[in-house]
A and B are shown apart, each in its own frame.
Chain A
């Protein structure tokens, strides 16, 4: 089955700095890669996603890049703010079925 690895497990940055989280996947047939933000005790919220026919997507301060050949994708958050502090999960979908990464706890220090 699919295996998704996510790094780093924890990330601490100063407010205003950029944060980058990386994921690799094993199944080349996976074709949809969302990123979720989850605050403590709450549901995951989709923040950005990318499909396998696209290399990069940006939405304001958030961007995702996908390298299909290397089977990895990354989340980039620029100009981080304290409210960006949360756990971020990547996921890889194949035929509608998802595999999640282990999560990255991002802390943005004011």
Chain B
């Protein structure tokens, strides 16, 4: 159990367009989902914390108007990268927890390339 999926697994888009990434918990209800960004050979940087039915909490330095997060249900959170630029190219990973204090279950990640 505790499987998290992401879609798409990779995406290439043109500069100025928007891209939506979905994160789903397949066999459990996630009270909280997290979105991370990981540049090559670097660590995971937490972007935002997403709770179902409420606004996401963004980390300092993350533009909330650029990275739109919607957590519409207990099994789905989406991250939309708006007006993407080449510097947004990265590996985006989500994770989900069943309850506070539970371990995080990571999605497989989405590799975004902006040309």
Q: Say whether A46 contacts B103, CB under 8 Å.
A: yes
Chain B, residues 85-111, CB within 8 Å of chain A (1/0): the string is: 000000101000100110110111101
Within 8 A of B (CB), among A18-71: 32, 34, 41-46, 49
Partner of B103, one of A1, A41, A43, A49: A49
In the bound complex, CA of A58 to CA of B43 (Å)? 25
Report how many residues on chain B are interfacial, defined by Cβ distance under 8 Å. Answer: 21
Chain B, residues 37-72, CB within 8 Å of chain A (1/0): the string is: 000001111100100000000001000000000000
Q: Say whether A103 contacts B100, CB under 8 Å.
A: no
Which residues from chain B contact A73 at a C-beta distance below 8 Å? Answer: none
Closest to B102 in A: A96
In the bound complex, CA of A30 to CA of B101 (Å)? 11
Q: Say whether A44 contacts B106, CB under 8 Å.
A: yes
Closest to B106 in A: A43
Closest to A87 in B: B41
Which residues from chain A contact B42 at a C-beta distance below 8 Å? Answer: 102-103
Which residues from chain B contact A32 at a C-beta distance below 8 Å? Answer: 101
Q: Say whether A42 contacts B108, CB under 8 Å.
A: yes
Which residues from chain A contact B60 at a C-beta distance below 8 Å? Answer: 1
Closest to B46 in A: A98
Closest to A46 in B: B103
Q: Say whether A43 contacts B43, CB under 8 Å.
A: no
Within 8 A of B (CB), among A86-110: 89, 96-103
Q: Say whether A99 contacts B46, CB under 8 Å.
A: yes
Q: Known interface pairs A34-B103, A49-B103, A98-B104. Does A44 touch B44 (Cβ–Cβ under 8 Å)?
A: yes
In the bound complex, CA of A81 to CA of B103 (Å)? 26
Which residues from chain B contact A1 at a C-beta distance below 8 Å? Answer: 60
Q: Say whether A43 contacts B107, CB under 8 Å.
A: yes
Closest to B4 in A: A43
Closest to B99 in A: A96
From residue A47, how far is it (CB to closest CB) to chain B in Å?
11
Query: A-side interface residues toward B, CB under 8 Å?
Result: 1, 32, 34, 41-46, 49, 89, 96-103
**The 7 A-B residue pairs with the shortest CB-CB distance in the complex, in nearest-first order:** A43-B106, A100-B43, A100-B44, A102-B43, A43-B108, A103-B43, A96-B100
